[in-house]
Amino acid sequence: MTNNAKIISINDLKSNDPSYLETIFSIANGHLGVRASNPVNISDTAGTIVNGFFEISEIVYGEKAFGYAKNNQTIVKLPDLRQIKICDGQQNVFHRSELKAESLDMNNGVLVSTYKLTNDLGKSVELTVKSALQQANNQVIGLRYEIKPIDYTGRIKIVKHLKAISDGEETDDPRKSRTVHTLTYEKHDVNSKSEIVKITTQISKMYLEMAIYTPAALEQKFELTDGKTINFDVIGLVGEINEPVEFTDMPTFEEVIKGSSEFWEEFWKNSEIKITGDDSLNQAIHYNLFQLTSSTGRDGKTNIPAKGLSGTGYEGHYFWDTEMYMSPFFAYTNPQIAQKLIKYRYSILEASKKRARELGVAKGALFAWRTINGQEASAYYPAGTAQYHIDADIAYAIDRYYKVTDDKQFLENYGFEIVLETARFWKNFGSFSEIHGKRKFCFFDVTGPDEYTAIVNNNYYTNRMAKFNMGFAVDLIDEFPEKARELGVTDQERNELANISESVYLPYDQIKGINQQDDSAFEKPIWPFDTTPKDNYPLLLHYHPLMIYRYQVNKQADTLLADFLFDDLSKEQYLREYDYYEKITTHDSSLSRSIFSAIAARIDLKTKAYDYFMDTVKTDLVDLQKNTADGLHVANLGGSWLTVVNGFGGLQVKDGLLTIDNHLPDEWKKLTLRLQYLGRLLQITYTNKTTQIEVLTGASIKIRVDGTVKMIQA
């Protein structure tokens, strides 16, 4: 174990699988990501990934119906910026490679990889590759190749060019990406020091330019002698989509490192978490926050791919994961990024209105379940489009951002319209029905977060979120009356939304004393867990969906997720619900364990909280889901922060006050975290006996701490 919590090395990992290591040591800056590939051995899994750069292919259905998603959107894997060729004086290539050491320093964002390279004559040299990405100017990567002799001295030739990436294997695994065959490459040799490759997608009609530049030449010869190290620096450029790259004011490698260091220093100042009592967990949470931030689009045009920019799994699509699992971290630590994520949703609002009409809803917007450009790309609607709750998830994220920042101007200019259009969707999508002798507003044929229970009536999570969404819209109509009139809101519409919000049906089982996942949930038999082989998980890869749907079995937290978000149950009901739903949940989704951990912490199920957190925080570092090679589980990275801060730290905004309840695990001596709230930078320190809060910047503030309202002095 490395001593510094912000450094992770190959020695900290149990697996040496090359594709897995490519993912773990990948680096990114929200615009581009580079997998930590072996620079001299070509790999099908290596390459560069650009957020939002995708190709289209037609979705082929055996039987197609009106309104089905039309096209796949698949993120494109681009030339590997790390690749290099090294020869001796007789042109013998050093092509056999052994990884000797690798480490990622999260203090400055620098990845260092060291290899032993051997040619066919059995002679070897040592190659160290240092890589860093600019974070402010997000088009720039700096690469330094350092070559030392092992048992070879003499002439060395280095050749650096951009080469097209090879196609990977086709797969039926829905978690992986399909292969893209419709790219064209056009190379422009500017001069001996630089070259540009233009990559064009044939169907989506997008292009992107990649370039490399070196101060000397792309092909150089050196004399390698004992005790000498050869340095070969390369600056890579990855342009914005549909914009040319320009070789102006090219930074040196040292300047790239300096810029990266400054970004991460500022980041940790606002986002630091320190766990005292378990060094491995401390390292893991730092890794998760580093990679989560690296993965996140920050331009208002892009979002967070399900695998970040560490791999092409899930085709680079954006899901509800952003709002429920990832944007909470940014709202509380880097609100400017949370704002950009909302702006992305605003940029696809018109496409979402069109999608609502395709689904037969006359007014409002329905955001695509999985998408890059705003159009629905989910070919399986029962576990895709039917998850209408994404509308309310986005509204909830806007509410969270508003409560944490009090950014009225942004809310009025961007957030309000999204909240209103999603509320209008619910109003026109649902209908009144008589339930238990009362007139209630219901939502039929929906799918909640649990994708093992599809097309049901009155999913509790969906109904609860829709109720919130419409109520929030009413609050904003009252707060911003002029903007409401500008958006066409009438008094009648306002009152209808208020009435419907109050009338939404929330399923509850009187006998069990718990919220019921949906109208039919408790009528189904429980999945035969005792006779299900361990190798048959995840269930979705071994059983037909219709078989899974007819049982009580959950892929992930569903009703419990609503309980976590609203936190308004008695402890007794919390315990009953937790006990019931835990027994039927497989955690086949990486999103699940963080919620189970956070709730367990809140209701003092300490052992469960800690065990689930151990799996959550190390999901990728131990390859818990067995598919980290395809890319990081980025939503789970955010989920681990939720567990620490909202679970163990008990942090919420309630009744207009920041509320903190100490649930520190017995295994930890201390937890220290930093966050931003209403313009203040706060530091909160938990021990098993005390909770201390400091205002590091900003004015004094009232906070409810362990049940008591206190004025925290600046």
- The model's pLDDT over 694-714, given as tens digits with 9 standing for 90+, comes to 999 999 999 999 999 999 999
Give DSSP secondary structure letters for 540-552.
GGTS-HHHHHTSB
311: buried, middle or exposed (CB in 10 Å: 19+, 13-18, 0-12)?
buried
pLDDT digits (tens, 9 = 90+) for 357-413: 999 999 999 999 999 999 999 999 999 999 999 999 999 999 999 999 999 999 999
Mean pLDDT of 117-144: 96
CATH fold label, 31-269: Beta-galactosidase; Chain A, domain 5 (2.70.98)
**1 pLDDT more than 50:** no
Report residue 664 CA to chain centroid gap.
26
Nearest to 245 by CA among 208, 202, 200, 299: 208
State the Cα–Cα distance between residues 476 and 487, nearest whole angstrom.
12
pLDDT given at position 190: 78
Residue 157 known to bind ligand: no
Residue 538, preceding peptide bond in cis (omega within 30° of 0): yes
pLDDT given at position 191: 86
Report residue 331 CA to chain centroid gap.
14
Which residues carry out catalysis? Answer: 451
Listed by start position, the domains of the chain span: 31-269
pLDDT given at position 661: 97
Q: Model confidence at 465, in pLDDT bands (50, 70, 90)?
A: very high
Residue 558 known to bind ligand: no
Contact of 146 with 231, CB cutoff 8 Å: yes
State the Cα–Cα distance between residues 706 and 699, nearest whole angstrom.
21
pLDDT given at position 624: 84
Say how many C-beta atoms besides its own lie within 10 A of residue 435's C-beta.
14
pLDDT given at position 2: 46
| Backbone phi and psi for residue 33, each to the nearest 5 degrees, phi listed first | -130, 145
Say how many C-beta atoms besides its own lie within 10 A of residue 462's C-beta.
28
Work out the mean pLDDT of the chain and round it to a whole number.
Answer: 95
Q: What percent of the chain has pLDDT over 70?
A: 98
The alpha-helical segments, DSSP class H, found in 334-443 are 335-347, 349-358, 390-405, 408-410, 416-429
Report residue 269 CA to chain centroid gap.
22
Residue 321 known to bind ligand: yes
pLDDT digits (tens, 9 = 90+) for 158-180: 999 998 876 555 555 555 556 78
State the Cα–Cα distance between residues 558 and 550, nearest whole angstrom.
17
Say how many C-beta atoms besides its own lie within 10 A of residue 227's C-beta.
7
Amino acid, res. 344: Y
Residue 510 known to bind ligand: no
SS3 709: strand
